[in-house]
């Protein structure tokens, strides 16, 4: 018998599998759709700052939006959803948060990331004429729909 077998025996210990509830299909579908929309926008934006400064009216106070900035804000938003998995309808309503106060801090982070991605998506069509307002609005609708499906900011279940 080898030293490992002596120490651990010849049987592999049984690992009790914890049942994992799947994400709600509609919510998961919206996450996938949002990722596709963001990917499409990222592919059309420059990686670096544009050569010309945008007009003052459409100026972004944080500088020009690049594909990297959109990638980072999109990634932060998607990652902030991870704390709430499985993603279920109305999981983050006010009354649900009273029952699960540990989520409150994560909800604040999610709301902050929501504000960031919405701001970036609203700036893009002002800075780049090759990306239409409608394309960015479609991504904003998905972000908002995710927040509504999860119940963020809603009072009732």
Which residue, 127, 15, 111, 146, is CA-closest to 60?
127
pLDDT score of 11 more than 60 = no
| Domain residue limits, the chain | 22-150
What single-letter DSSP state applies at residue 152? Answer: T
Inter-residue contact 67 to 42 (CB < 8 Å): yes
Inter-residue contact 45 to 131 (CB < 8 Å): yes
**In CATH, 22-150 is 1.10.472:** no
Q: The tokens of 67 are what?
A: 């594909």
- pTM for the structure as a whole: 0.75
Give me the pLDDT at residue 82, please: 94
Question: Over the Cα atoms of the chain, what is R_g?
Answer: 21
Give me the pLDDT at residue 120, please: 93
Residues 101-113, mean pLDDT to the nearest whole number = 91
Residues 44-69, mean pLDDT to the nearest whole number = 62
């Amino acid at each position: 018998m080898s030293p490992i077998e002596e120490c651990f025996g010849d049987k592999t210990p049984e690992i009790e599998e914890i049942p994992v509830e799947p994400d709600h299909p509609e919510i998961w579908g919206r996450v996938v759709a949002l990722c596709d929309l963001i990917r499409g926008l990222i592919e059309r934006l420059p990686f670096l700052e544009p050569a010309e400064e945008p007009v003052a009216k459409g100026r972004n106070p944080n500088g020009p939006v690049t594909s990297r900035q959109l990638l980072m804000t999109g990634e932060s938003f998607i990652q902030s959803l991870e704390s709430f998995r499985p993603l279920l309808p109305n999981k983050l309503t006010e009354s649900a948060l009273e029952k699960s106060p540990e989520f409150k801090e994560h909800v604040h982070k999610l709301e902050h990331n929501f504000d960031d991605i919405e701001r970036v998506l609203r700036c893009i069509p002002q800075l780049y004429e090759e990306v239409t307002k409608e394309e960015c609005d479609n991504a904003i609708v998905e972000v908002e729909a995710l927040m509504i499906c999860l119940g963020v900011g809603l009072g009732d279940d």
